[in-house]
Structure 1
Amino acid sequence: MKLTTILKRISILLFFGLVLNYSCSDEPVDSALLDSDGDGTPDNGPVQSVFPCENGFSNNYPCNGFDFKSQVPLDVLGGNGATGNDSWGWTDPATGKEYALVCTSTSTAFVDVSDPYSPVYLGRLPTATINSLWRDVKTYNNFAFIVSEAPGHGMQVFDLTRLRDITTPPVIFDADANYNEFGSAHNIIINENSGYAYAVGSNTFSGGPHFVNIQNPMAPEAAGGYANDAYSHDAQVVTYNGPDPDYIGREILIGSNENEVVIVDVTDKSNPVQISTIDYMNIGYTHQGWFTEDMEYFLLGDEIDEINFGGNTRTLVFDFTDLDNPVFHMEYLGPTQAIDHNGYVVGNTLYIANYAAGLRAIDISNIASGVMVESGFIDTYIPNDNTVFNGAWNIYPFFESGNIIVSDIDGGLFVVRPSN
């Protein structure tokens, strides 16, 4: 593991100020199963409200153009002492119900958010080994695939259709399958078009992407990996349909690799080929990025440039018109000094989990002209907008309903929605 990775982890741990229980045998008490008021009902109810964003606030959360819908706190999602991290979403194709998959230091929680004002905590899948600050989940073909930096964790596979049958929540679930060709991994990426998962930051392939065939989700198969560019912190993998005719229909991985962005053709799993790389000024930690929907631009977040160099939240934009020759296009500076974490594009909007500054929405409709403008926000971390590891870790803005989930390190799960 690179020195930059080690230093990043030390800085995050110092900012969190946490001491987690890393004993495999000591399962934390699940507060969602407690009945503190003795009324016979578990304490698993969310905080509910209908608060439009008015005069700059929605249920006391600073906002502009976003409404708070509801919140499910961390002690419900992960038990006593849990902290929040990554998240994803799943829509049941049979019922149309929307579910939040929320990772914590102890487990992965499943929440029915079909009614955004009254989400239902259905239960959780405990960590495969020990607790960890880092856990990640993605979905494919009605299954969830979960990795963690917990040693020996591997990849848990969970059949999401089981959530349809929960009549007396919450439930403590078991995994439906486990993949153990790697132990720890920082993140998992899935190309739903190809049916391949890519575990990155694992203890295999020098931390580069570890390929897994998940076309049969209950029986994942090792499919090789790519170690040439060493540690990969995050990635996006697409079946390419962008402006570069040389790669139409190819499976392309864009890796955020600590100190550069790498573009790799992973169509042939036995022979992945680097296409190009690109770096930029004032590299702190090349963290995560996402294509525009036309695949012309790639929008990147650097996680610790605000710490190392000062200044406001920075998003870097690269022109990927020619994958063999990516070029720097522009940078966008946000209104606060908060650290940017994960960002995703839906239409002409970039949604950023901006740690202490919450969820930020950026209008990218004029990105070709070098113009990006914040169009709205809701700040799930009230104390400040400082350069600290608190607040919004991830967002999931892909539900057809327009509702957005935010997984917050300190506050748990938030369900929000653009006001319009």
Structure 2
Amino acid sequence: MKVFKSIAVFLSATLTLASSYMLMGGTLDTFLDDLLADGAISESQYSVITGVYLKHADLHFNQHQVVDNIFIPLRDELRSFIDGEVRVQRLSKNTATYLLNLFNFKAAPEDGPEGGPGLLSRSPSYSSNGIVTKGGHINVKDKQSGAGDFINNGIWGYETDGREYALQCSSDGFRIIDVTNTRPFIVQFIRMGGGRIWRDVETHFDPVKKTTYAYVGAQGQGGKLWVVNLSELSGPTAHGPNSKPIPLKHIKLLGYENFSHTLSVSYGLLFLNSGGSGGCQIFDLTKNPWVPRWVSSTGGNQKDCHDSFSRMVDGRLLLFSADGYTSRVRIYDITDVRSRVSPLLRGETERSDGTYAHSVALTDDSKYMYTFDEFDNYDIAIYDISVISKPTLIKTFQWKGEESEGSSIIHNGFVRGNFLFTAYYQAGFRVFDISNPIEPVEVGNYETHRDPEGSGVLKKDVNEGYQGAWNVFIGLSSGKILVSDMDSGTFVLTLPSLEAPSGLKGSLSPCGQSSRYTKTIPTLKWDKPSEAATNYVISRSNATQEGPYFIIAEEISSAEGTYRDDLAELVPNTYYYTVTAKNSEAEFDASKVVKITKITSECKITRRKKRKRKRRRRRQRLPPSSRTGTPELP
């Protein structure tokens, strides 16, 4: 019992320090209670681990950091106890790993993914910020009273009729920021309770009502889920600063307290990711976006679902769940989830001891998965997921400055085309070229934490701290990249290779000297977006502006900037086109949509042409003598 007593005494003596011990998705005692309720640990094991401290205090998180030194004096004895329980088979290896992760026992690299993390070299042409350019910046934290307790967190993007907005979450609520021009400004602030550390946002477009809704969820301090109807946000004409165009009737509190450590929206489904045993709660938005309908969940013992990502793969809708303290990613089939069919586990990664499965991103072809470890063990791992049932680890890697500048923790990542965009906490925003998905090369960055002004002088150190770049959004048609930094605010960044073709115009080609049966031909013209563009892809929708779009031509020369859609099957109709620029490395964002209404399938023959043809035919019918004016006698 010597070990038991020392654990209890130490925990009792460290109540004050332990009250700041941060856990993703809940408090320490909440996680332990769930393990006990699910039978993963016994009452005696629970008593040993918790000791007497639960009689006096609840270990609530109140800052976004993992406090390494709180349990250091206890670690040898606690680990000895856990290892002993595993040896006598009173504790499973999975539960033991889960417990060690809760107390932030970091495994040595050799205990993590095979081979340990690799360091990346930068692109040979990479200097300064590489391919990244700063386009705008706003920091609402500067305007807060008591700003020391304030952070920016989740971010998303929204656009309407050419006007672009950043949807920025923070400790006190939700801000809509106009980022159309180089000087961003706040259009509206919506105060929301709770969520001092964790608040997240994504959007859903209702094709029936032609309306976009923003879902804003939070965890901690009673944070709840909200829905905001964005239909009042303007397009061509800008709202003024703090003009508050969204009325109260378009802002609704839905509840679901502390359900949303993070959230995601796709395929008409809303996923509230608890980061704890609540797992991922799934809601259907297609019936009524204003009142989401719960359909299923992935919750249960050691199914944390810190973050989730869904993608249609081979005709099946798959949910990729980063399961936090379980140190693994699980892949579920949720194709039939609206019929309340429970998510079917299709595959999972091997457990990686001493890591925190924070989030995932997939390559556009869904063949490779990047996972992000928030315990700073391996940072980013690459998996081959061509066989969903058996994800295969290929390698792990870290940012280029890991050894020379300090160890920075990865937070979130986003794949678009041949680039992986990351929010890398103290290392700021980092871009990796993944044209070869298993050999990433760092090609750009912006120091949102160490040099937010872009002066070229690094003012802070990198020391494994939980400060800096929180999240990133890619998807605005202009190619703007939105980055949320906890302290420095909202950044609008650009990459030359992400500029969309501009000046796209559509017309019907003239008949010219064509015959009666020549078709009118829809013709596109556009401006070259940048010197990096080498060719273009043309896509067409025969249905609506929303699509679906199908590629009708590829490898169109960048020197031309024009395309005639003269395919034989074209008939009178309204057609919608987009032009997507490409370079040698990545596919650009597509242009705005252009509409061409094709009224007829034939050129009209003018009257003048008809008269000429009629006269010619009459003269050809006269007898030869009529040409001289002398009639031929019988």
What amino acid maps onto 2:251 in structure 1? D
CA displacement, residues 191-229 of structure 1 (integer Å, 9 cap, x when unaligned)? 1x3x110101178xx321111111222122222222245
Which residue of structure 2 lines up, in the alignment, with residue 325 of structure 1?
Answer: 390
What amino acid maps onto 1:136 in structure 2? D
Which residue of structure 1 lines up, in the alignment, with residue 253 of structure 2?
Answer: 178
Distance 1:79 1:112 in 2: 23
Indicate the RMSD between aligned Cα atoms, in angstroms. 2.7
Distance 1:77 1:291 in 2: 37
Which residue of structure 1 lines up, in the alignment, with residue 274 of structure 2?
Answer: 201
Aligned equivalent of 1:109, options 172, 175, 182? 175
1:277 lines up with 2:348 in the alignment: yes
Normalising by structure 2, we get a TM-score of 0.52
Which residue of structure 1 lines up, in the alignment, with residue 548 of structure 2?
Answer: none
Greater displacement, 269-278 / 340-349: 269-278
Cα pair 1:138 1:145 within 8 Å, conserved: yes
The 1:125–1:166 alpha-carbon spacing in structure 2 relative to 1, beyond 3 Å, is farther
Deviation at 1:261, TM superposition (A): 0.5
Describe the SS at the equivalent of 2:194: coil
The 1:351–1:223 alpha-carbon spacing in structure 2 relative to 1, beyond 3 Å, is same
1:334 lines up with 2:334 in the alignment: no
**Aligned ranges for residues 103-142 of structure 1 at < 5 Å?**
103-115=169-181, 117-127=182-192, 129-141=193-205, 142=212
1:12 lines up with 2:64 in the alignment: yes
1:403 lines up with 2:480 in the alignment: yes
Deviation at 1:185, TM superposition (A): 1.8
More helix by share: 2
Deviation at 1:13, TM superposition (A): 4.0
Describe the SS at the equivalent of 1:405: strand
Aligned equivalent of 1:296, options 367, 378, 390? 367
Which residue of structure 2 lines up, in the alignment, with residue 49 of structure 1?
Answer: none
CA displacement, residues 84-127 of structure 1 (integer Å, 9 cap, x when unaligned)? 111111122xx122110111011111111111x12121021111
Which residue of structure 2 lines up, in the alignment, with residue 188 of structure 1?
Answer: 263
Deviation at 1:253, TM superposition (A): 0.6
Greater displacement, 283-292 / 70-79: 70-79
Which residue of structure 2 lines up, in the alignment, with residue 50 of structure 1?
Answer: none
Which residue of structure 1 lines up, in the alignment, with residue 433 of structure 2?
Answer: 363
Describe the SS at the equivalent of 2:232: helix
Structure with higher Rg: it is: 2
1:73 lines up with 2:139 in the alignment: yes
Distance 2:275 2:351 in 1: 25
Describe the SS at the equivalent of 1:75: helix
Greater displacement, 4-13 / 173-182: 4-13
Describe the SS at the equivalent of 1:161: coil
The 1:184–1:226 alpha-carbon spacing in structure 2 relative to 1, beyond 3 Å, is closer
Deviation at 1:409, TM superposition (A): 0.5
Which residue of structure 2 lines up, in the alignment, with residue 46 of structure 1?
Answer: none
Describe the SS at the equivalent of 2:233: helix
Distance 1:351 1:183 in 2: 28
Distance 2:257 2:336 in 1: 21
Describe the SS at the equivalent of 1:299: strand
Describe the SS at the equivalent of 1:305: coil
Cα pair 1:122 1:163 within 8 Å, conserved: no
**Aligned ranges for residues 243-254 of structure 1 at < 5 Å?**
248-254=314-320
Distance 1:279 1:200 in 2: 21
The 1:351–1:72 alpha-carbon spacing in structure 2 relative to 1, beyond 3 Å, is same
Which residue of structure 1 lines up, in the alignment, with residue 309 of structure 2?
Answer: 236
Distance 1:100 1:188 in 2: 17
1:265 lines up with 2:338 in the alignment: no
Greater displacement, 6-15 / 221-230: 6-15
Describe the SS at the equivalent of 1:190: strand
Distance 1:166 1:66 in 2: 27
The 1:105–1:171 alpha-carbon spacing in structure 2 relative to 1, beyond 3 Å, is farther
| Unaligned segments of structure 1, at least 5 residues | 16-54, 58-62, 242-247, 307-312
CA displacement, residues 216-274 of structure 1 (integer Å, 9 cap, x when unaligned)? 22122222222245211001012x23xxxxxx222211000012100111222222211
Cα pair 2:136 2:179 within 8 Å, conserved: no
Deviation at 1:419, TM superposition (A): 4.8
Cα pair 1:182 1:202 within 8 Å, conserved: no
Deviation at 1:176, TM superposition (A): 2.3
Aligned equivalent of 1:415, options 484, 492, 503? 492
Deviation at 1:339, TM superposition (A): 0.7
Asked which structure has the greater RCO (Cα within 8 Å, sep 6+), the reply is 1
Distance 1:295 1:262 in 2: 15
Deviation at 1:150, TM superposition (A): 3.4
Cα pair 1:74 1:410 within 8 Å, conserved: no
The 1:110–1:4 alpha-carbon spacing in structure 2 relative to 1, beyond 3 Å, is closer
Aligned equivalent of 2:153, options 85, 98, 101? 85
The 1:77–1:417 alpha-carbon spacing in structure 2 relative to 1, beyond 3 Å, is farther
Normalising by structure 1, we get a TM-score of 0.77
Greater displacement, 151-160 / 333-342: 151-160
Which residue of structure 2 lines up, in the alignment, with residue 96 of structure 1?
Answer: 162
Deviation at 1:365, TM superposition (A): 1.1
Q: Percent identity?
A: 26
Cα pair 1:78 1:108 within 8 Å, conserved: no
Cα pair 1:262 1:276 within 8 Å, conserved: yes
Cα pair 1:150 1:184 within 8 Å, conserved: no
What amino acid maps onto 1:196 in structure 2? L
Aligned equivalent of 1:377, options 425, 441, 445? 445
1:218 lines up with 2:290 in the alignment: yes
Deviation at 1:351, TM superposition (A): 0.4
Which residue of structure 2 lines up, in the alignment, with residue 353 of structure 1?
Answer: 423
Which residue of structure 1 lines up, in the alignment, with residue 227 of structure 2?
Answer: 157
